Amino acid sequence: MSPLQIIEHPLFKAHQIEVYIKRDDLIHPIISGNKWRKLKGNLSYAKAKGLKGILSFGGAYSNHLHALAYACQQQELAAKAVIRGEPEYLTNYTLSWAMHWGLEPIFVDRQTYRQREQAEYLAALATQFPDYLIVPEGGSNQLALSGLAELVEELNQQISFDTLMLPVGSGGTIAGIINADQCQHQILGIAVLKQADYLRNNINQLLSTSQNQTAKTFNNWQLLTEFHRGGYGKFSDQDCLRLAEFIAQTGVPFEPIYSGKIVLALLDLIAQGYFPAGHKIVLLHTGGLQGLGGQIERGLLPNEFIKAVQSHLPSAPQVQ
């Protein structure tokens, strides 16, 4: 069970809001956060069916592929990944770890990568790799939902609260949580990408394919689409400085692609008076700190931010 901590901030105090953080970034030393939750069901399915491995999709800095490679190695499954980009990415922080754990990369151009959800392309992959479980980008499929139910169970044991806030990329995590929460709490998703309104459909689709017959009646969740800060992977130096301050204040590390965006959204929403006094919020720290390795390599982070997270960074592997 990942820990739950209270976090203190003058803004929370001023608005009489209580904020807790569910530290799924600490759930496992390598497979952090929601990728672990989502992979669990997929790994057990692949094992139970006697499959050779898992084939999935991702970008060259993907938290999902990083987690997939390690998790498959542990389970003695093969891991294949269709990766958007060129083999030159193999030496980046994320993929060098993934290769270290045995990831078999298949590099494709952007155009091919765009077909990753199309039936025809998926059927061709299934023919080519018949003994692999094909898992969508981010690991968000129906098999992922059960791992999120465990998260909801943990929370129910740990605390009573009003709102659970989390970042949303492909929608698998929030769908699993809505499904398991059964309307006990408000679920507030913050989209980390631009023009994310389409995600509501993806979330509803995951909910309706789950065993849950009452999926359509869930009305306790919302997706806010105005806090993407420029788009997926985009953030300003100013965003990083605000985050660095928050990290120093709370002692909890965040990265600017996912968990950092919910922190900034939370601060903005509280300042706007979005939550009533006395409200109890749980932030879900979905992990993703491995992404900082690649962001530092690419010079995307201001020094002040690097200083703030430095003590939380794992070191990069040597690639043979």
Q: Which of 32, 56, 62, 96 is catalytic?
A: 62
Judge whether 252 and 24 are in contact, CB under 8 Å: no
If we measure between CA atoms, which residue out of 148, 144, 241, 232 comes closest to residue 190? 232
Instruction: Choose one: 32-40, 43-51, 217-225, 274-282; the region binding ligand PLP (CB under 6 A).
Output: 32-40
Give the span between the Cα atoms of 131 and 16, in whole angstroms: 54
Of positions 56, 94, 141, 286, contacts ligand PLP by CB under 6 A: 286
Is 147 a binding residue for ligand PLP by CB under 6 A? The answer is no
Structure tokens at 278: 């006395």
Give the span between the Cα atoms of 129 and 222, in whole angstroms: 38
Binding map of ligand PLP across residues 48-77, x = CB under 6 A, - = no contact: ---------------xx-------------
Tell me the one-letter amino acid at 14.
Answer: A
Of positions 260, 288, 293, 294, contacts ligand PLP by CB under 6 A: 288
Instruction: Choose one: 123-131, 164-172, 246-254, 274-282; the region binding ligand PLP (CB under 6 A).
Output: 164-172
The CA-atom distances, in angstroms, between 164 and each of 64, 177, 268 are: 22, 9, 16
Binding map of ligand PLP across residues 2-21, x = CB under 6 A, - = no contact: --------------------
The CA-atom distances, in angstroms, between 158 and each of 5, 101, 130, 284 are: 10, 34, 42, 13
The answer to whether the Cα torsion of 303, 168, 94, 112 is positive or negative is negative
CB of 168 to ligand PLP, least distance (A): 4
Is 171 a binding residue for ligand PLP by CB under 6 A? The answer is yes
Is 168 a binding residue for ligand PLP by CB under 6 A? The answer is yes
Name the burial class of residue 310, with classes exposed (0-12), middle (13-18) and buried (19+) by CB atoms within 10 angstroms of its CB.
Answer: exposed
First to last CA, the chain: 36
Judge whether 162 and 186 are in contact, CB under 8 Å: yes
Per the annotation, the verdict on 62 as an active-site residue is yes
Judged by beta carbon, residue 63 or residue 163, the one nearer ligand PLP is 63
Judged by beta carbon, residue 15 or residue 65, the one nearer ligand PLP is 65
Judged by beta carbon, residue 129 or residue 137, the one nearer ligand PLP is 137
Is 170 a binding residue for ligand PLP by CB under 6 A? The answer is yes
Is 33 a binding residue for ligand PLP by CB under 6 A? The answer is yes
Q: Residue 8 carries which DSSP code?
A: -
Q: Nearest residue by C-beta to ligand PLP?
A: 288
Decide: helix, strand or coil at residue 191.
strand
CB of 173 to ligand PLP, least distance (A): 3
Is 85 a binding residue for ligand PLP by CB under 6 A? The answer is no
Is 260 a binding residue for ligand PLP by CB under 6 A? The answer is no
Which residues are catalytic, by number?
62
| Site residues, ligand PLP (CB under 6 A) | 33-35, 63-64, 138, 140, 167-173, 258-259, 286-288
